[in-house]
Amino acid sequence: MGYISVSGTGCAARTLGLALSATLLLGAAEPGAVELDVAGLRSAKGVVQVCLTRDPVNFPGCTDDKFAVKRKVPATQTRLSFGDLPTGAYAAALIHDENANNRLDTMLGIPREGFGFSRNPVIAFGPPKFAAARFTVAAGETIQRIQMKYLL
């Protein structure tokens, strides 16, 4: 009833090979870029520490995330650009380290310095989950406006 001739098998193999080659060539996604526009810094003192990550487990600290993109910039710099990023889901966490001591200072567990997250999620008790701060980086440029928050 049904059979594949020898010439049919070769043709099918060539077609499959061409399809795989086209998939590999077209599937190589163009890298994306992210611009973070930071608003609401209460002073120009210190630095802003930024962590851009794709890892929900290590968000927002980024301590064990070897693929996280971390930056420390003067608090006077309110636009940060990240280029050549693989496309996908990301989240950003920022700290306004006003005294530049490389940590978020707290009083009784309440942050004394500013913080912010991509998508500006509502903050209740503790930092947001990755899903609340997640945004998609596609080919081209993605802009996130981050409003800094101060509790004390």
In the chain, the domains with their CATH numbers are 32-147 (2.60.40)
Element (H, E) at 35: strand 32-39
CA atoms of 140 and 83, how far apart (whole Å): 9
3-state helix, strand and coil shares in percent for the chain, rounded to the nearest 5: 20, 40, 45
Q: Could you tell me the pTM of the whole model? A: 0.80
Q: What is the pLDDT of residues 61-107, one digit of tens each?
A: 988 999 999 999 999 999 999 999 999 999 999 999 999 999 999 99
- Count Cβ neighbours within 10 Å for each residue of 61-72 and write b for 16 or more, e otherwise: ebeebeebbebe
